[in-house]
Amino acid sequence: MNLTPPPLRLSKQLALSSDSGATWSPHSGAPDGVAGGKVAISADGTSILWRTGTNRILVSGTTAAFTDVSSLPGGGSIIAADKKDAGIFYGASGSSFYISRNAGRTFSSSGTLGSSYSPYKIVTHPTVAGDVWVSTNAGLFHSTNFGATFEAISDVSQAWGIALGAPSGSGQYPAIFAVAKISGTGGIYRSDDAGVSSLSPRGILLSNTLLRLRGSRLMIPSTASRGTALQSSLLIQGSMAGRSRPSFGTAPF
């Protein structure tokens, strides 16, 4: 007698919200059984780039069927959307940075990320097109020309996480938060001048497997009807050495 249960058949695993997350509806164009990964949404909310849990790169209009994006490497690429220019998406794999100027349908190679072989996260300026930050195993990189060229932030040898938060004063550059190793010391750092001067320490690094970082009063600009959110503390999610469960902590700045 065969007691093996039938395989789990997943339906649509991607959902959309047009009311700031109060309600959600399945994306009608999402392929059945595909789940996980990360989604990046264009500045106007009409295009969706999806790196799935199996590292496929897919793109869709708001409700159109997803199609594969073959011009961006699928083996662990990271993705992001420009928050100002609706046609721009970014990707990174190894030391290569990629840009799409047609809403994620095709990508072309752009700048390079030093000697990086493992980019961790791309973040973009909330109001300035083409202003991009990338954290990698080989440091922290900044571009102001859509990733055509990058400047390595001095003394940063590794950067596991990065986030942009509300500036320290009106009209100033957003605060930069990074979980990084600077001058040989791992920790939580902040810069209020776009990394021009050294990032100042804000805490001790508890784990080298950091998963997520959100900045103090993190700004999410309003696009269409998705609203604006302010995060009032720094959220650190990771796993302590010797523990299998994630650890969480918050610290106001």
The 10s digit of each residue's pLDDT in 48-103 is 999 999 999 999 987 789 999 999 997 789 999 999 999 999 999 999 999 999 99
The 10 Å CB-count burial string (b at 16+, else e) for 148-183 is eebebbeebbbbbbbbbbbeeeeeebbbbbbbbbbe
What is residue 106's predicted lDDT score, i.e. its pLDDT? 97
Greater model confidence, 200 or 173:
173
Of how many residues is the chain composed? 253
pLDDT value of position 10: 60
Nearest to 199 by CA among 250, 118, 144, 135: 135
Beta bridge partners, 162, equal 178
Q: Does CATH number 3.40.50.300 belong to domain 26-148? A: no
Residue 138 makes CB contacts below 8 A (sequence gap 6+) with 95, 113, 114, 115, 116, 117, 157, 158
**CA dihedral angle for residue 217, residue 120, residue 45, residue 69, rounded to 10 degrees:** 180
* Model confidence pLDDT, tens digit, residues 176-196: 988 889 888 888 888 888 887
Q: Domain limits of the chain? A: 26-148, 153-253
User: How confident is the model at residue 205, as a pLDDT?
Assistant: 46
Confidence of residue 202 (pLDDT cuts 50, 70, 90): low
